[in-house]
């Protein structure tokens, strides 16, 4: 299968306004001539071509006919809603939170999500153990300012329980017009409602500062997202670092939920020689596509440590895996989120669509990111209690145990 890489994004479905569709998913848009719901029913009834030979639909039609004959409010039955419900049930039976069917209205909203034309609260969300979970709060957003952290569980959105709620449905509920409010009930030990005011989210991309420790000059480089600005901003920062008196480098990917695949490959090229494997795309039949670096490896001259945590996902995991497997760069912090799968968005003629997982991403050494995440070489946990009591300030030396460990390793 050939992909137009310009149409591929990694998206952990986002609840923010940004120039990228978020982390987690690689999406290819595909419009087909699939018939509408009514024609679909007729095709099944008539058992026309392209129906699977080994599937007996008699039970489905027995249930369909029973509802239409016996349901007490059968005069209110909308047959198209029944079709959509059946499709959703079929999709949900896969147990994959990233394979989702969208009815026409929600399909349109999803297009807005991945185009960034909406307001939000600044969190990346996903499923962990079938529970809606915060992957990462985005710096200087309503969620970040309210103290929401990666790993927090979202129990309710306004008054609606998130039990069995799809990620994409949660996104639709959380996002909205800037200036409006949404209440998230958060659980992380205690359970409490947090009211947030939606706003247009501006995501910082790359920042760096010089840290001096024991006569060493360490460039501390934070990458917050892999959006459309990251290539140019990283280039600017990398050139500044190369011209500085830095002799060590720390790359911080904590709470970075991902973004553009091409950007992950381009950034890897600043560390890797040309044609080194950055990531591998593996399909159900075992077919693999290999993505390689195309840079000059200018930053490989520095002894480097890379920081990750549970908020590092998709593009972050791809970059971390590439630098770890190719260069042996040590990873410090906590296990990454574990989201690296490829989705294709199939658009149907009635306006509905199906986002379906078609492949998964592997590190150069063949580890499945989705199945295992990325384990740090040196594990340094930050207790939630310390975060809640403001004992920890991420990115501040002597107040950030993970950063302090990285600094210590570079002495």
Helix (H, G, I), strand (E, B) or coil at 139: coil
- Burial group, residue 328, by CB count within 10 angstroms (0-12, 13-18, 19+): exposed
Measured in degrees and rounded to the nearest 5, phi and psi for residue 102 equal -115, 125
User: CA–CA separation, 356 vs 358, rounded Å?
Assistant: 6
Long-range CB pairs of 325-330, under 8 A, 24+ apart, other chains included: 325/277, 325/363, 325/364, 325/365, 326/271, 326/272, 326/276, 326/277, 326/364, 327/271, 327/272, 327/300, 329/271, 329/304, 329/305, 330/305, 330/306, 330/377, 330/378, 330/409
Tokens of 261: 């695949």
**How many CA atoms lie within 13 Å of 94's alpha carbon, on the beta-carbon side?**
15
Q: Are the beta carbons of 329 and 151 closer than 8 angstroms?
A: no
Residue ranges of alpha helices (H) inside 71-153 are 79-92, 104-115, 142-145
Closest of 191, 235, 241, 202 to residue 220, by C-alpha? 241
**How many CA atoms lie within 13 Å of 318's alpha carbon, on the beta-carbon side?**
39
What residues contact 105, with CB distance under 8 A and at least 6 apart?
A: none
User: CA–CA separation, 294 vs 274, rounded Å?
Assistant: 5
Q: Are the beta carbons of 371 and 347 closer than 8 angstroms?
A: no
| CA 147 vs CA 121, 136, 194: distances in Å | 12, 11, 9
Catalytic residues: 314, 325, 339
Closest of 130, 148, 131 to residue 139, by C-alpha? 148
Measured in degrees and rounded to the nearest 5, phi and psi for residue 370 equal -65, -40
């Amino acid at each position: 299968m050939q992909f137009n890489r310009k149409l591929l994004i990694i998206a952990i479905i986002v609840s923010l306004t940004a120039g990228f569709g978020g982390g987690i998913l690689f999406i290819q848009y595909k419009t087909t001539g699939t018939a509408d719901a009514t024609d679909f029913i007729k095709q099944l009834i008539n058992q026309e071509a392209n129906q699977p030979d080994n599937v007996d639909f008699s039970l489905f039609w027995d249930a369909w006919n029973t509802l239409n004959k016996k349901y007490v409010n059968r005069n209110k039955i909308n047959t198209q809603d029944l079709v959509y419900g059946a499709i959703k049930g079929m999709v949900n039976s896969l147990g994959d939170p990233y394979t989702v069917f969208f009815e026409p209205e929600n399909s349109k909203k999803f297009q807005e999500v991945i185009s960034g034309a909406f307001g939000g609260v600044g969190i990346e969300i996903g499923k962990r153990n079938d529970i809606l979970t915060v992957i990462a709060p985005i710096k200087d957003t309503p969620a970040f300012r309210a103290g929401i952290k990666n790993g927090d569980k979202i129990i309710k959105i306004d008054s609606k329980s998130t039990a069995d709620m799809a990620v994409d449905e949660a996104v639709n509920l959380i996002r909205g017009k800037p200036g409006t409010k949404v209440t998230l009930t958060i659980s992380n030990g205690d359970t409490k409602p947090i009211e947030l005011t939606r706003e247009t989210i501006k995501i910082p991309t790359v920042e760096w500062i010089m840290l001096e420790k024991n006569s060493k000059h360490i460039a501390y480089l934070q990458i917050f997202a892999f959006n459309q600005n990251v290539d140019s901003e990283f280039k600017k920062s990398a050139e500044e670092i190369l011209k500085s008196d830095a002799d060590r480098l720390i790359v911080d990917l904590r709470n970075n939920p991902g973004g553009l695949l091409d950007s992950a490959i381009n950034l890897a090229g600043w560390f890797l020689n040309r044609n080194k494997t950055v990531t591998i795309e593996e399909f159900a039949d075992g077919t693999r596509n290999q993505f390689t670096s195309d840079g000059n490896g200018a930053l490989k001259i520095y002894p480097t440590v890379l920081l990750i945590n549970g908020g590092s996902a998709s593009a972050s995991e791809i970059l971390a895996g590439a630098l770890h497997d190719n260069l042996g760069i040590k990873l410090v912090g906590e296990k990454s989120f574990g989201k690296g799968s490829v989705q294709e968005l199939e658009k149907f003629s009635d306006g509905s669509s199906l986002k379906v997982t078609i492949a998964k991403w592997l590190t150069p050494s063949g580890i499945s990111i989705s199945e295992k995440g990325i384990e740090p070489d040196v594990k340094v946990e930050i207790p939630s209690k310390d975060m809640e009591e403001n004992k920890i300030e991420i990115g501040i030396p002597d107040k950030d145990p993970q950063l302090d460990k990285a600094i210590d390793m570079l002495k």
